[in-house]
Structure 1
Amino acid sequence: MHIQPSAPPQSLYSAESVRELDRRAMAALDIPSIALMKRAGRAAFAELQRRWPEAKRLQVFSGGGNNGGDGYVIAALAAQKQIPVTVYACVAPDELKGDALEACRFAGREGAHIVTSLLEMNADDGDTVTVDALLGTGFQGSLRENVAAAVERINRAAGPVLAVDIPSGLSADAGAAEQAVRADATVTFIGRKFGLHCGRGPALCGEVVFESLGVPDSVYGDLQPLVRRYDSDSLARLPRRAADSYKNQFGHILIVGGDSGFGGAALMAAESAARAGAGLISLATRPEHLPAALTRCPEVMARPVISGQELEPLLESPDVIAVGPGLGRAPWGEQLLARAGRAQAPLVLDADALNILAGGRVLAGLKRDDWVLTPHVGEAARLLDCDTAEVLADPRAAAIAIQQKFSGVVILKGAGTLIAHAGGVDLLNSGNPGMASGGMGDLLTGVVAALIGQRMDIVEAARLAVWLHGEAGNCAAQDGQRGLLATDLLPWVRRLVD
């Protein structure tokens, strides 16, 4: 039995679903679209003033759609407050239509200065707040020349940048971006957009602030999200241990890996499994790594294996088998994966186990409901026989494709880590850029295996492991992100899992 979460996960929507939410919101609130636009503008302006109360002037970059209309409303509100504001219009006011035109007229009446050429742009300073209201959630493809020039100007701004709903140039559905605004904060409305939290989104959005605009919960009704986003409050946890607990209740984990020269990877996976609470840890590795294993972590039962045949008897007793850290792609690694892949215990595959699997000669065609695959972008591309650009263009689609090809649970690692399973796709934003260093994936492998060994459902184990791993990285990075080592996370994994 596990401790159930105290809050549900957040729903993240596609651009199409957000448009449907807008329609439902106007019907539920019985207001016209311009009124909803003004609510959005007021919410964004309020956040701007809260965040940067000393701002002496604003520059607003507006496009021709509803996002541009939001920008004109912000400009009008700033002018009402006697804050000097200039709107740089990428679509001339006389070409605007509908709500955007009405919002533009509102800004003009209030005294906002509207210009149509970036050549008229004055140099800004740190007291100027820049508002990005160029493109909204409907953007796809490449930026038009004039919009690209505006994005470049925004990214050169000396002061802070606020993005309205989504940074211009970022895909709401995939988190992909060729050229996009880099914001310090993004205020998003009515429905949380998936692209803000995955792919390039976390690097471009800054802090994401959600404003419901007073939309009632009934509006969301039966609308299915694209992804569900989990945090510390929405994760199932391990229960406290009973006073009469014994080690066999908490899983026997076997780590398989560590070819010549790569023994550290397998040992880090073994130690992270131990720190995450596994009852027993075995390590099957090259004979030359045993002295280091005994010295580093004598609690690990290290066994030398030089062939798949020698591994065979070690596969009978573990509750979970993790294969891949330091495994290599030579015949030794292939033999070990071939034997482990047919074992009865649940599996966690990482690193070269995934690369061997992608090659198609070992475990060809195998699909298992009880394994967890943990690729990074490069490994995902090899599993799908495509290039990394295709994975980065739509990581959610890539995670789903891997899950459909191999079954089980797929953890596609990144700034927004995706977990694809038979029930859908989950997302967790945890960790920091300091974790872009060797060995971090090996630690995650050990934590996933340890949680499964403690009788967690594999999907719940994947979610909790990703959060534990990322949060341990955040705690360890309190002393600085640069120079952060994988082993720096181990004490924090132990504290956080309890």
Structure 2
Amino acid sequence: MDSQNLTPSHPQKLYSAEAVRQLDRLVISQQQVPSIALMKRAGRAAFDYLCSRWPEISGIQVFCGGGNNGGDGYVIAGLAAQRQIPVTVFVGVPADKLKGEALEAYGFAEREGAKFVSGLAELPPVDKHTVLVDALLGTGFSGELRAPVDAAIAHLNRSSAPVLAVDLPSGLNADSGFAIDAVRADATVTFIGRKAGLFLGRGPALAGEVVFEDLGAAPEIYAQVPALLVRHSGDSLERLPARAADSYKNQFGHVMIVGGDHGFGGAALMAAESAARCGAGLISLATRPEHVVASLTRRPEVMAHPVVSGQELEPLLEAPNVIAVGPGLGQSPWSEQLLARAGRAHGALVLDADALNILAGGRVLAGIKRDDWVLTPHVGEAARLLGVASAEVAADPVAAAKAIQEKFSGVVVLKGAGTVIAHVEGVDVINTGNPGMASGGMGDLLTGVIAALIGQGMTLPAAARLGVWLHGEAGNRAAAEGQRGLLATDLLLHIRALVD
């Protein structure tokens, strides 16, 4: 039984590699489960999943390293041999170098008749019903890959056969999801605690379907070890309440979008329209004068105001209770004036795109920390906010999001395949969306959605979580007819359907 996720409405706790090792030790010491018994349970769980996922299996090739991850692989090989499934084991570490439970598991596979090879050229050819098992590296991996593991990973990735990763794909950082060269798995069976790296960075692209097995760990074990972050799905998120029969527009917030410099009017309008489709009662748009006619033509419900300076924006900031700055804002003197005025207005703020780049420059809103704003950077913008290289943010998105939150306060939404949301109460991750959403305007929609949810009374962390999920799920629905050519505006009606 999955004791960390008793019902679909419960968020999932994600752990660091060290925290999972603590969970292991507690299961061994408090539940008095020998470590070899845990290894056998892990191998059995992975083997059972393999057989259910690929029932027409004709052969298995298991790639084993020298640690406990390799030991899990040897258990799988032994169980396959027991079942009379042809199994070949690539031995990444010679048997005389194995120790403890890994050596014991090797002996089990040997006794059951598994075939062992030490060279990749010795592996038999695969067919469409062969399954490859990655048990090369475990949660302790860091640094650079070394022979023969690097060659084995390249071999796995070249193969046409499906790949099952044991605990996590080899080469993937268990904490951050960082990877340079790593196994691309079709599925991953992970044990005891969900590793955060499976849901961050490169993790979602490399892990495939993630299946969790608690191996009999008791619920009280998890209460003793803090999680690194919390993963939410649609069922575990706070939602907007139903509207009363006598509702009126002023109850549902007035959102103002500030942006749309020369040539970028569409970004600001898309943010305004997404806020409208997400249920905001009133929508204002402050933009360059030349964009007003197009805005009214496209969406007459939006109150479009021409502004040529920060001074003209000033009186418009009194009415909204949420101001979103950044879509199409640019980085001109006009842009800086508008951000400077909006950044000191009353009410909640959502900053995106060039508002973040201007903020990072230090000339506007320098040194300001606000509890009532949401910053929504992608990796490059996050790097500029922190003054580091983008690679550093990609290597540890949780640390980056927390660092931005500590620097600027409020809520930080670091966008990615696993979007990290950092706030004063902790760190969350939302996994949704698809590669088709890698197109212009998607971030502008998210800005409008989050602003609309805040305007309707949600707390900033709750609005960020729900906004990211709505945005990604709308993208999934819109991509049902194909991912390539997906446009941001294709999501709008899906957002409307999902938010209610």
Fold-level similarity (TM above 0.5): yes
Q: Kindly state the Cα deviation for residue 160 of structure 1 after the two structures are TM-superposed.
A: 0.5
- The residue that corresponds to 2:418 in the other structure is 416
- The residue that corresponds to 2:325 in the other structure is 323
Name the SS for the 1:154 alignment partner: helix
Q: Kindly state the Cα deviation for residue 145 of structure 1 after the two structures are TM-superposed.
A: 2.3
Distance 2:147 2:217 in 1: 36
Letter of the aligned partner of 2:114 in structure 1?
A: A
Q: Kindly state the Cα deviation for residue 120 of structure 1 after the two structures are TM-superposed.
A: 1.6
- The residue that corresponds to 1:245 in the other structure is 247
Of residues 354, 357, 380, the one that matches 2:356 is 354
- The residue that corresponds to 1:134 in the other structure is 136
Q: Kindly state the Cα deviation for residue 214 of structure 1 after the two structures are TM-superposed.
A: 1.6
Q: Note the alpha carbon deviations across 1:365-420, whole angstroms, 9 max, x for none.
A: 01000000000011001111111100111011100111011000000000000000
Distance 1:487 1:294 in 2: 16
Letter of the aligned partner of 1:469 in structure 2?
A: H
Q: Kindly state the Cα deviation for residue 125 of structure 1 after the two structures are TM-superposed.
A: 2.2
Q: Kindly state the Cα deviation for residue 6 of structure 1 after the two structures are TM-superposed.
A: 7.4
Tell whether 2:197 aligns with 1:195: yes
Distance 1:306 1:122 in 2: 71
Letter of the aligned partner of 1:400 in structure 2?
A: K
Distance 2:335 2:8 in 1: 43
Of residues 451, 454, 457, the one that matches 2:453 is 451
Distance 2:62 2:373 in 1: 50
- The residue that corresponds to 1:492 in the other structure is 494
Of residues 279, 301, 305, the one that matches 2:303 is 301
Q: TM-score, normalised by structure 1?
A: 0.98
Distance 1:118 1:252 in 2: 64
- The residue that corresponds to 1:125 in the other structure is 127
Q: Kindly state the Cα deviation for residue 118 of structure 1 after the two structures are TM-superposed.
A: 1.9
- The residue that corresponds to 1:467 in the other structure is 469
Distance 1:344 1:448 in 2: 17
- The residue that corresponds to 1:433 in the other structure is 435
Q: Note the alpha carbon deviations across 1:455-477, whole angstroms, 9 max, x for none.
A: 11111000000000000001111
Structure 1 unaligned residues grouped into runs of 5+:
none
Distance 1:309 1:30 in 2: 70
Q: Note the alpha carbon deviations across 1:262-289, whole angstroms, 9 max, x for none.
A: 0000000000000000000000000000
- The residue that corresponds to 2:40 in the other structure is 38
Q: Which of structure 1's runs of 4+ aligned residues deviate more than 4 A?
A: none
Letter of the aligned partner of 1:52 in structure 2?
A: W
- The residue that corresponds to 1:396 in the other structure is 398
- 1:369-384 equivalence runs, <5 A: 369-384=371-386
Name the SS for the 2:194 alignment partner: coil
Distance 1:220 1:6 in 2: 18
Q: TM-score, normalised by structure 2?
A: 0.98
- The residue that corresponds to 1:337 in the other structure is 339
- Are 1:255 and 1:321, in contact at CA under 8 Å, matched by a contact in 2? yes
- 1:171-182 equivalence runs, <5 A: 171-182=173-184
Distance 2:438 2:29 in 1: 46
Cα distance change of structure 1 residues 222 and 29 upon mapping to structure 2, 3 Å threshold:
closer
Name the SS for the 1:75 alignment partner: helix
Distance 2:10 2:206 in 1: 26
Letter of the aligned partner of 1:384 in structure 2?
A: L
Name the SS for the 2:314 alignment partner: helix
- The residue that corresponds to 1:276 in the other structure is 278
Structure 2 unaligned residues grouped into runs of 5+:
1-6
- The residue that corresponds to 1:69 in the other structure is 71
Name the SS for the 2:300 alignment partner: coil
Letter of the aligned partner of 2:56 in structure 1?
A: E
Q: Kindly state the Cα deviation for residue 330 of structure 1 after the two structures are TM-superposed.
A: 0.6
- The residue that corresponds to 1:52 in the other structure is 54
Q: Note the alpha carbon deviations across 1:64-90, whole angstroms, 9 max, x for none.
A: 000000000000000001011010011
Name the SS for the 1:254 alignment partner: strand
Letter of the aligned partner of 2:175 in structure 1?
A: D
Aligned Cα root-mean-square deviation (Å): 0.9
Tell whether 2:479 aligns with 1:442: no
Name the SS for the 1:334 alignment partner: helix
- 1:9-24 equivalence runs, <5 A: 9-24=11-26
Q: Kindly state the Cα deviation for residue 117 of structure 1 after the two structures are TM-superposed.
A: 1.9
Of residues 87, 99, 102, the one that matches 2:101 is 99
- Are 1:39 and 1:213, in contact at CA under 8 Å, matched by a contact in 2? yes
Tell whether 2:116 aligns with 1:114: yes
Percent identity at matched positions?
72
Name the SS for the 1:270 alignment partner: helix
- In the alignment of these two chains, the number of paired residues is 494
Q: Kindly state the Cα deviation for residue 28 of structure 1 after the two structures are TM-superposed.
A: 3.6
- The residue that corresponds to 1:478 in the other structure is 480
Tell whether 2:365 aligns with 1:363: yes
Q: Kindly state the Cα deviation for residue 7 of structure 1 after the two structures are TM-superposed.
A: 2.3
Name the SS for the 2:350 alignment partner: strand
- The residue that corresponds to 1:220 in the other structure is 222
- Are 1:125 and 1:157, in contact at CA under 8 Å, matched by a contact in 2? no
